[in-house]
Amino acid sequence: MAHTAGMRGTHGDGELLVTEIACLAGGRWATIRAGLVMLLRRGRLNSNRRGRIERVGSSPRDGEPLEKVLFAALLGWRGAREVGEMPRVRATVGEVRRGLERRGLLRRVWVRVTVPLALAVVSGVATARLVSFDVLPPATGVLAVVVCAAAGVWFLPRRTIAGARTLRRLRGEYAADVADLEARTADVEAWSPVRVGAVVALYGDAALLAIAPVAARSAGLLDGGRWTRRLRQRNIDYGDWTDTAMSEINKENPVSGF
């Protein structure tokens, strides 16, 4: 199967980037992880055994917008989750999500909150009033409230029907790659950064562990990412007193260079 810089979406107005696929499949952290995975694959990230990452070289010219923002945010050693919480990164991830909302693949947050709430509350109040004035029989009123509540549930999922269909189709397109990974016959070294990023975007930690287990752990990309201030900064070359002192320093300075 040919792997291009983007995957054709359900609409004819453009392609889905890898980070957009990740946002559609898994949300905010999945989007950040996909960007970091592609940077790692391009050789633009260095990691250490403490679960921190730093940038290497120059920003990738052919990288996606989020990749470039992540690269720019990596000044010094940082945890993956910490990088994802930086303002520019958060803003760019928000732009990715809004793009999917405009395409009709994700529901807007306010729709997921206000529409179900309005259907439940307004219908309940209106039905109660109608029943109290003997306009509706109580049984009919209860049925009306149940129907409105059920209609509200329709708006709760973050993905629309079009988004769910797109995700199923993309997973089908990469099913052969996943089968090769499971059979351990995949030539992962020959995979492009986009191909690696797309598989990780669609299949999460399981795919990342199958593709690059050592790099995934050392870069802190598993289980929702790493915070620098939550890392245990122990080194076998240090004595117990030095290690204890470093732990105290880290409590006061979460982004300590130790």
Reported pTM: 0.75
> Is residue 98 scored above 60 in pLDDT?
yes
pLDDT digits (tens, 9 = 90+) for 195-230: 999 999 999 999 999 998 888 888 888 876 655 444
What value does the mean pLDDT of the chain take? Answer: 80
Distance CA(125)–CA(38), nearest Å, equals 52
Angle at which helices 138-153 and 109-132 pack, to 10 degrees? 180
Count helices and strands (H / E) in the chain: 12, 5
> Is residue 13 scored above 60 in pLDDT?
no
- Ramachandran sector of residue 141 (left: φ over 0; alpha: ψ -120 to 50; beta: rest): alpha
Higher pLDDT, residue 150 or 208: 208
Lowest mean pLDDT among 17-31, 99-113, 129-143, 191-205: 129-143
| pLDDT > 90 fraction of the chain, expressed in percent and rounded | 48
Q: What is the 3-state secondary structure (H, E, C) of 31-90?
A: HHHHHHHHHHHCCCEEECCCCEEEECCCCCCCCCHHHHHHHHHCCCCEEHHHHHCCHHHH
> What pLDDT is recorded for position 230?
42
Distance CA(241)–CA(238), nearest Å, equals 8
pLDDT digits (tens, 9 = 90+) for 58-84: 999 999 999 999 999 998 888 888 899
Across the strands, what pairs with 78?
53
Provide the residue ranges of all domains of the chain, joining segments of one domain with +: 7-106+160-226, 109-153
> Is residue 119 scored above 90 in pLDDT?
no
pLDDT digits (tens, 9 = 90+) for 153-185: 777 888 999 999 999 999 999 999 999 999 999
